[in-house]
Amino acid sequence: MTSESVQSLIDQLEAEAEMDRPAEETPDIGIIMGSDSDLDVMAGSESGRPGAYDVLTEELDFVEQTDYETAPEARFTFETFVVSAHRTPELMYAYAETAEDRGIDVIIAGAGGKSADLPNMTASIAYPLPVIGVPVQEKSLPSVIGMPQGAPIVAVDAGKSFNAALSAVQILARQHSDLRERLLQYHDGLQQDVGEVSRALHERGTPRFRE
């Protein structure tokens, strides 16, 4: 039996899929995770490595869309949901099945544990929409990447939702030249940082650099 709260989300997703809203007003990227305990990995943590939320909002100027019917002014947006493959399979199915009709162009799906089924199940249902899997833990990696031939999923290394978001934007950039420019600017910044560190290390010498 589906709980009232889950059913209301399913009804919401199905209703949004019927709205036929312009692509400019719908989320471009969908981020889903199996539990809110995955949020530090999927979004990023102040005490840990940065995540998908960090790179999208801080580096690439995306905005999180929290109201499907009232889009932010930003052209490129993403949404975030908790969708458990094991506890709420109906919600997982509804999300994956309606994603394309709701305007989503690529899904980032993260899950932890040994049975991290959310990314690959979502990829199966949402096909041919591209899905990027994020193993939240190292032990989740075999489950996420273990798809059979003919059932594709792209996956990043354990915990690296930051890279998953970059890959998602790379997919979108094939259709949007301004996203391509944002990615190039981000990469130029990385190169600049490496160049500055390299010069400082060389000119100061190792002992002074370490200080």
Binding site for substrate: residue ranges?
35, 38, 87
Q: Is 96 helix (H, G, I), strand (E, B) or coil?
A: helix
Residues 6+ apart with CB under 8 A from 158: 135, 136, 137, 138, 140, 141
The burial of 159, by beta-carbon neighbours within 10 Å (0-12 exposed, 13-18 middle, 19 or more buried), is given as: buried
Question: How far apart (Å, rounded) are the C-alpha atoms in residues 211 and 208?
Answer: 5
Question: How far apart (Å, rounded) are the C-alpha atoms in residues 111 and 140?
Answer: 7
Q: Of 61, 46, 45, 44, whose CA–CA distance to 108 is shortest?
A: 44
Binding residues: 35, 38, 87
Q: Of 142, 103, 102, 97, whose CA–CA distance to 123 is shortest?
A: 97
- Which ranges of the chain does DSSP label H, i.e. alpha helix? 4-17, 39-42, 52-54, 89-98, 118-126, 141-145, 161-173, 177-204, 206-210
Question: How far apart (Å, rounded) are the C-alpha atoms in residues 142 and 133?
Answer: 11
